[in-house]
A and B are shown apart, each in its own frame.
Chain A
Amino acid sequence: MANKSFMYAVYEAVQHEMRQRKDMTWLFELTPAVASNPGTPVINLEKEFGRTRVTNTGIDEMWMAGAALGASLVGSPSVTYIPYQGSQVCFEMIQNHAGKLHHMSGGDSTMPAVFIIELSGQSPGFAGQHSDYECDSYYAHIPGLKVVIPSRPYDAKGMMASAIQSPDPVLFLYAAGLRQLSEEVPDEQYTIPLDKAAVRTTGNDLTLVSSGAGMPAVMEATEQLQKAGMKVEAIDLRTLKPMDTETLVKSVQKTKRLLTFDQSYYTLCPGAEVIARVAENVDGARYKRIAFPDAPPPASPEMFNWMRPNASHIVGAARKLVS
């Protein structure tokens, strides 16, 4: 047990699985297969497992996703780490192939493939083509693909272990804004189910739902609201598909108020799906969603910081909803 960063925890899970499975592979471009963390050993997958299994590719995300998929189809668990600059270039392989092959083959094909997609650009100056937080919605729409988005190092490790062991393809969204987070993470391997949300705080006044990089703001706002006397039930989705409807419905049946928070675009953001599922099952509740406007993030910090949903927006909207 030691304090570990988000990606260190992920690499630890991968390293463990690669030691167990001599046929497992890792494909990367530009982002070296190395993780270091104060007080723990450096993990260097390339050095430990060699370049045949741990492969630095050119700038070709179609290859990366296709190769991981093809490897998994013949029984080699395979992980690829696709940086944010290529998060949609690989879409066809994942959406039209990984998402459909099990069903198309009448249940014959299994795909122990994990596509790590980095979400980035939600910081001033990036903008335009260097922003891709919205792709949570794109991928969550695909049938046959599990889509997970952990918000903490502990969850990231357990969900990566589950993802590699899963016979279904898993899209593992890594919100790069969480890079700096660290917390106590066990050294040994453990798994976390890929279909369960986590209730972070319990309360009767308001259900507040987010995921991934939205969670730090949610926890900050929750703390402020709790101090002011509002009892907030903060839920971390962790998995966008399959979505844990039961936990959401149970919470809103109690609070009758639901506020969702996303850094994704407003239209079809994960919160829209959360609200729809709850509305189908709970009578007499009130709803609100906070999201990035339906505009590409601009480069100017003045424009961007005004548009980006933050903790004070949550506090303001929560007060209106509960009043």
Chain B
Amino acid sequence: MSDHDRSRATVERAPSATRRALLKGFAAAGAAVSLSSKVAWADGEIGYWAKDLPNEKLIEMYSTILRIRWFERTLADKQLSDRSFRNLIHLYAGQEAVATGVCAALNNKGSLREIDVIYGTHRPTGHAIAKGVDMKKLAAEYNFKATGLNRGYAGEMHVADKSVGYMGADGIVGPAAVIAAGSAYAFRARGSKQVSVVFGGDGTYATPAFHSSLNNASLLKLPFIYVVENNLYHQFAHYSYSCPLKDIAVAANTYRIPGVVVDGQDVTQVYNKMKEAVERARAGDGPTLIEAKTYRYYAHWGAPGAEVGKMGSFGYDPQAITSWRPERELRDWLQRDPVDICRGTLISWGVIDQAKANAIEAAVKQEVKEAFDWEAQQPLCKPEDGVKNVFVQGSVPARQFG
């Protein structure tokens, strides 16, 4: 390990609350005023890479956040009111800025020998949409349709789309990290400039996979980025049940790699840190651990305690007995919504105004509606296809009839 690495093995703090409050204030006021950067970015602007992005890119990031948000709100509403939409949902709402900021710093086009890859969790919608998965096919897969993203074999918890470098949702907590590091190993071995990213929840800290992936990625200087989405809860248990650290990013010190804490509600902050991690990986300098502090608005799965047309699962979840979050905690986090923060930033930078922001949101809602309308017209799977796709060729015999 070089001195350079050692000096970077420190944990950086999230930006000040003051700046966020300011952004929030401007967003609420809906005014396209310019922000005094001396006040707002008192932390300094060195490394504020998102400010160098072209307007179209920033607008695309805002649109992506909205796509995830409205796709998920549609899912929640359908879960509560539409039995024709059959699904098991693990909602990501509240965390949109993480997937969006991460994927905005990656190359999302090209063959498997060019594209950057991500491995997701089985809270998959955000990762999938941010990486570029088609919303129509995604909706159809969630409803187990024959024309769905994975032809009805995957369902929500196991979706994947190699064509955009979305290697799949890991149905089990942990293993994806090691597999993602394995992809990074291949990139290094074959001299490719590709990068492999794994998303994991705070619950992954406790798994052996977390430590194995970082240890090996550090030893081999792999182009690997571990993005911990610390939304405070794994299923129904607070992360203090399974991790002795307040900041999981501190674990990076053990593996002598950079560990970064970032405000997961602010897409530009996520992008800034991710861009540095990607550049480090492409340069052959090894992995980075990024911890995004974030929150999920809904329960672990489904939408218990939610109402049609309203966001968030409130009240007590009957599935959670050991511990559960206070309702006020959720209301606090709703005040720091990634959609509002992103919109506020773009308006304050003069990229868009309030009217344009509203128009973008309306267009996204229409796009989401069309995806679900398309899904509703798609055919169901053929029962006999269940014994296909076991191996690349042929099918296996039916054994259920004796």
The answer to whether B204 has its CB under 8 Å from any CB of chain A is yes
Q: Can you name the residue of chain A whose Cβ is closest to the Cβ of B242?
A: A58
Q: How far apart are B301's CB and chain A's nearest CB, in angstroms?
A: 11
Q: How long is the Cα–Cα vector from A314 to B402 in the complex, in angstroms? A: 8
The answer to whether B205 has its CB under 8 Å from any CB of chain A is yes
List B contacts of A313 (CB < 8 A).
Answer: 400-402
Q: Pick from A56, A60, A298: contact of B386, CB below 8 A.
A: A298
A63-118 contacts to B, CB under 8 A, are: 63, 85-86, 89
Q: How far apart are B17's CB and chain A's nearest CB, in angstroms?
A: 29
Q: Pick from A124, A259, A293, A299: contact of B153, CB below 8 A.
A: A299
A320 engages B206 (CB within 8 Å): no
The answer to whether B380 has its CB under 8 Å from any CB of chain A is yes
Q: Can you name the residue of chain B whose Cβ is closest to the Cβ of A60?
A: B206
Q: Can you name the residue of chain B whose Cβ is closest to the Cβ of A83?
A: B235
B230-268 contacts to A, CB under 8 A, are: 234-237, 241-243
Q: How long is the Cα–Cα vector from A127 to B86 in the complex, in angstroms? A: 14
List B contacts of A32 (CB < 8 A).
Answer: 320-322
Q: Pick from B203, B322, B399: contact of A266, CB below 8 A.
A: B399
List B contacts of A304 (CB < 8 A).
Answer: 386
B154 engages A306 (CB within 8 Å): no
B152 engages A34 (CB within 8 Å): no
Q: How long is the Cα–Cα vector from A32 to B321 in the complex, in angstroms? A: 6
A303 engages B381 (CB within 8 Å): yes
A293 engages B144 (CB within 8 Å): no
List A contacts of B87 (CB < 8 A).
Answer: 125
List A contacts of B398 (CB < 8 A).
Answer: 293, 307
The answer to whether A277 has its CB under 8 Å from any CB of chain B is no
List A contacts of B235 (CB < 8 A).
Answer: 30
The answer to whether A280 has its CB under 8 Å from any CB of chain B is no
B147-176 contacts to A, CB under 8 A, are: 152-155, 157-158, 170-174
B208 engages A62 (CB within 8 Å): yes
Q: Pick from A62, A292, A321: contact of B400, CB below 8 A.
A: A292
B203 engages A299 (CB within 8 Å): no
Chain B interface helix/strand/loop/mixed: loop
A58 engages B206 (CB within 8 Å): yes
A85 engages B172 (CB within 8 Å): yes
The answer to whether B397 has its CB under 8 Å from any CB of chain A is yes
The answer to whether A231 has its CB under 8 Å from any CB of chain B is no
The answer to whether A202 has its CB under 8 Å from any CB of chain B is no
Q: Pick from B158, B203, B241, B243: contact of A127, CB below 8 A.
A: B158
List A contacts of B173 (CB < 8 A).
Answer: 59, 85
Given the known inter-chain contacts A57-B242, A58-B207, A59-B242, please indicate yes or no for A299 contacting B155, CB distance below 8 A: yes
Q: How long is the Cα–Cα vector from A34 to B383 in the complex, in angstroms? A: 39
List B contacts of A291 (CB < 8 A).
Answer: 399-400
**Chain A 6-43: CB-based contact to B (< 8 A → 1; otherwise 0):** 00000000000000000000000010101000000000
Q: Can you name the residue of chain B whose Cβ is closest to the Cβ of A87?
A: B172
Q: How far apart are A272's CB and chain B's nearest CB, in angstroms?
A: 11
Q: How long is the Cα–Cα vector from A297 to B224 in the complex, in angstroms? A: 32
A127 engages B321 (CB within 8 Å): no
List B contacts of A56 (CB < 8 A).
Answer: 237, 241, 322
Residues of A in contact with B (beta carbons under 8 Å apart): 30, 32, 34, 46, 56-60, 62-63, 85-86, 89, 124-130, 259, 266, 288-296, 298-310, 313-314, 316-317, 320-321
Given A292-B400, A304-B386, A313-B402, 15 more contacts at CB 8 Å? A56-B237, A57-B206, A58-B234, A85-B173, A89-B174, A127-B155, A127-B157, A290-B399, A290-B401, A293-B397, A295-B387, A300-B144, A303-B381, A303-B382, A317-B402
